[in-house]
Every structure is written in structure tokens, then in C-alpha cells.
């Protein structure tokens, strides 16, 4: 779960919800990092 929290910090609220889903945390990570 540490990874999801990490993603929430760097990603916008939209991707925060995606990270909370857990099953698609990796996909959200790629998208969030791509935005940054």
C-alpha cells in the first residue's frame, strides 16, 4: 500500500482515486508520471 500512497502524493486527485483502486495502481503511476 506504500506505493499507492506514493502515487497519490505525486498524482492529482483524479489519479489518487485510481491508485486507491489498487488493481490499476501501476497504470495510474505511468499516467501520473507521464503528466509530470
CA distances from residue 24 to 4, 11, 20, 21 in whole angstroms, order as listed: 10, 14, 9, 6
**Secondary structure, 3-state, 1-36:** CHHHHHHHHHCCHHHHHHHHHCCCHHHHHHHHHHHC
Count the Cβ atoms, other than its own, within 10 Å of residue 21.
11
Predicted confidence at residue 36, as pLDDT, reads: 47
Predicted confidence at residue 1, as pLDDT, reads: 46
Model pLDDT for residues 1-36, shown as the tens digit of each residue: 455 555 555 555 555 555 555 555 566 656 555 554
pTM above 0.85, yes or no: no
Amino acid at each position: 500500500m506504500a506505493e499507492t500512497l506514493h502515487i497519490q502524493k505525486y498524482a492529482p486527485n483524479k489519479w489518487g482515486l485510481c491508485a486507491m483502486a489498487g488493481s490499476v495502481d501501476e497504470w495510474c503511476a505511468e499516467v501520473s508520471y507521464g503528466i509530470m
